[in-house]
Amino acid sequence: MSASNPNGSATDFTGIAEALGKAAAQFQANWVDWMSSFAKPGDEGIEPKSGLAPLPADLADVRFDPSKIMMRQLELWRDYQSLWLSTTARMIGQDAQPVIEPEKGDLRFKDAEWTSNPVFDFIKQSYLLNARWLRQAVAEADGLDADTARKLEFFGRAIVDAVSPTNFALTNPQVLREMAETKGENLVRGMQNLSDDLREGRDGLRPQHTDMTAFEVGKNIATTPGSVVHQTPLMQLIQYAPSTEKVYKKPLLIVPPWINKFYILDLKPENSFVRWATEQGYTVFMVSWVNPDESHASKSFDDYVQEGIFAALDGIEQATGEKQVTAIGYCIGGTLLTATLARMAATDDDRITAATFFAAQADFENAGDLRVFTDKTQVDLLENQVRAKGYLDGAQMAGTFNSLRANDLIWYFVINNYLLGKEPPVFDLLYWNADSTRFPAQLLMDYLRRMYQQNALAQKGQFKLLGTPLDLSAIKVPVYIQASVEDHIAPAESVFKLNHLFGGTKRFVLAGAGHIAGVVNPPAKQKYQHWLNTRRKSYPTFDAWLEDAVEHPGSWWPDWDKWLARRSGPKIAARTVGAGTAGIIEPAPGSYVQVRS
C-alpha cells in the first residue's frame, strides 16, 4: 500500500517496533492507575464522562422482522458483489464507479488515499455499506414509539461511528504514513497524550480538544469592555460600554444558557455578538450565571427567575433608570425567559417589551437528540448521582453533549491526539466548549422531568412559576424567533412551535449551520445563509413555512437589528457604565465566569 512510505524507501519495522515498545511502557503505568480509580467505594451510578454513553437496557428488547432483515441481507450481499467487481477492476488498472460514497459533509475520508488507493477504498466502501445496512435495519424495527426509535437510531449511529476504519491505526492511511515517516514516534507521542488525558480525567477519558493554556477569559477571550454592576448568589450582571455616541433608550438584556458560559456570544472582537450589538447602538447587559456547587443544590426555576432575570431587571433599572427593556434568551436561557414572560403576563408586569429567542424550546415533544438520555430509567439513575453531589458534574454534561456529535468532538481528537500524536488545535470555540459548567440538582430534575418528560411548559396551567400556573398564549409582547437548519439540540421543527404557543406577533428566521454557528454568524464573515418568510399567514408546520420561505445569503443579524431597532425606543446620549445608583463591582467579564468545573 502506498501509505506504507511516501518516499518509496523500505519501512523501518525495527524502529517502529521499538517505538511501539516505548509507547506501551509509557502508557501502562497510567492505564493501571486510571483503571484502579473505578474500584473506589461509594460511587453511585454511571458517569459517561468520555461522552461514550452506555447502551440503555430497554433497547435489548427491540424486535426486528426476520423477513425485512433477510431482504436487507440480500441487498447487502448484492452491494458487496458490486464492490468486489469494482475493486477487482481497479486492481488491474481499469476505471470503476464507487458503489457507495460518504455523505456530503462527512470529512472522515477526506484523505486522498481513501479514494486513490484501491485497498483503502474497499475498506471505506465496506464500512459505508455496513453502516447503511445497520441504519436501515434500525429504521425498520417493529412496534417502536417515537422516543425508543430515536434512542435506537442514536445508539446505532454511535456504534457505527465507533467502528469507523478511520479510528484504527492499521486501517487509516494517514496514520500509516505518519508511522512510516516518524518510525512510530507518532504513537509514542499519542500514548503520552492519552496518558495525560487519563491522568487529568481520573474517572473518565476526555480527549483534549484544544490547548487550554492558549486562552484566558478576560485577556484574549471575552474582552468586550464593560463592568459587573449587580450580582446575586446566582448571577453577575454585566453592563457593556457603549460603542456609539447615541444609544437606544431601552437596554437589551441577554439571558444565556447556564449549561455553558455566556462568552460564546463574546469570543473575540471579530465574532462577538455582544460587541456587534453595542456597535448598532444597544446598551447591552449580560447575565453571567454562577458555576454552581453543592451549596446551590436546591436552586430551582423559581430561584433562577427571582435571582436571575428579575434581579437583572432590577439591576438594569439601578444602572440606567430604565424600567423597560428588551431581552434575548439563548437555548435553555430562552426556555427560562419564556416561563418568565408568561409569569409577567399573568401578573401585569410589563418590564420586558420585546423578546428574542435563539435556538430556544418551550414545547419538548420533538426536542433534539438529548431526548435519548431523558427516559425514566436514565433520569432516575441520574437523580441518584446528582442528589448525592448536589449538582451534575460539568465533565459529565460536556461528555453527553460531545456524544451528540461524536465524529467531530470525540473521534476526530482520538485520531489527531492519540493515533497521529499531534497536539490539539488552538481554537477559541473549542476552549469555550471545554470550559464546562455544573447544573444544580433540583433545577436539573425540574428541567428533565417537567420539560422533557412531561412537556408541562407547553400545556396551559401545567407548569407553575413562583406559584402561578403559566399560559404561554398570554405572552403578547412581540417576539423574534431564530432556529438553525442543522441544530441537533434544538431542532428547527421544535423551535418553530413557539409560533403556535405565543399570543403576540412573531417573526421567525431560519439560519444556516447548527446550534452554535447558526447563532454566532457575524455579517462581516459573509458565511452561511438564512431564510425569511414575509407572507402574513399562519403555518401549521415548519415544513409548510419553509416551502414559502426565501433564502438570503449571509447572516440574519441585520434583519434582527432592523426588527429590534423599531422596538427599542428613541436614541439618547450614550450611557456611562457605572453612572447609575448601582455603581461598579468589578471589570467585565467578572469573577463568576472564571470559576472552572
**pLDDT tens string 553-562:** 999 999 999 9
What's the average model confidence in pLDDT over 64-81?
A: 88
Query: Cα separation of 231 and 525, whole Å?
Result: 35
Portion of the chain with pLDDT greater than 70, in percent: 89
**Of 255, 249, 257, 326, which is closest to residue 560 (Cα–Cα)?**
326
- 99, 284, 331, 513: the catalytic one is 331
Domains with residue ranges and CATH for the chain: 226-393+438-594 (3.40.50.1820)
Q: Model confidence over 184-243: pLDDT tens digits?
A: 999 999 999 998 888 876 556 789 999 999 999 999 999 999 999 999 999 999 999 999
Confidence band, pLDDT 50/70/90 cuts, at residue 499: very high
What's the average model confidence in pLDDT over 356-372?
A: 94
pLDDT of residue 141: 81
State the pairing for strand pair 252-255/325-330.
parallel
pLDDT of residue 16: 66
Q: Model confidence over 109-166: pLDDT tens digits?
A: 999 999 999 999 999 999 999 999 999 888 888 777 888 888 888 988 999 999 999 9
Q: At what angle are helices 185-200 and 13-36 packed, to 10 degrees?
A: 10
Q: Model confidence over 254-300: pLDDT tens digits?
A: 999 999 999 999 999 999 999 999 999 999 999 999 999 999 999 99
φ, ψ of residue 385 to 5 degrees: the values are -70, -50
**Of 459, 502, 460, 458, which is closest to residue 480 (Cα–Cα)?**
502
Summary mean pLDDT of the chain: 91
pLDDT of residue 43: 40
Residue 37 pLDDT > 50: no
pLDDT of residue 46: 34
- Please confirm, yes or no, whether 331 is among the known catalytic residues: yes
Report H helices in 37-112.
66-91
Q: Model confidence over 429-448: pLDDT tens digits?
A: 999 999 999 999 999 999 99
pLDDT of residue 299: 98
Confidence band, pLDDT 50/70/90 cuts, at residue 40: very low
Whose cell is 441518584? That residue is 384
Confidence band, pLDDT 50/70/90 cuts, at residue 105: confident
pLDDT of residue 41: 39
Residue 401 pLDDT > 60: yes
Residue 75 pLDDT > 60: yes
pLDDT of residue 137: 87
Q: How many residues does the chain have?
A: 597
Q: Measure the N-to-C terminal CA separation of the chain; round to a whole number of Å.
A: 46
Confidence band, pLDDT 50/70/90 cuts, at residue 325: very high
Q: Model confidence over 82-101: pLDDT tens digits?
A: 999 999 999 999 999 999 99
φ, ψ of residue 202 to 5 degrees: the values are -60, -35
pLDDT of residue 22: 65
Cβ atoms of 187 and 23 within 8 Å: the answer is yes
pLDDT of residue 38: 42
Query: Cα separation of 487 and 480, whole Å?
Result: 18
pLDDT of residue 59: 58
Residue 502 pLDDT > 90: yes
pTM of the model: 0.90
Query: Cα separation of 213 and 156, whole Å?
Result: 36
Q: Quickly list DSSP for 373-438.
A: G-SHHHHHHHHHHHHHHSEE-HHHHHHHHHHHTHIIIIIHHIIIIIIS-PPPP--HHHHHHHS---
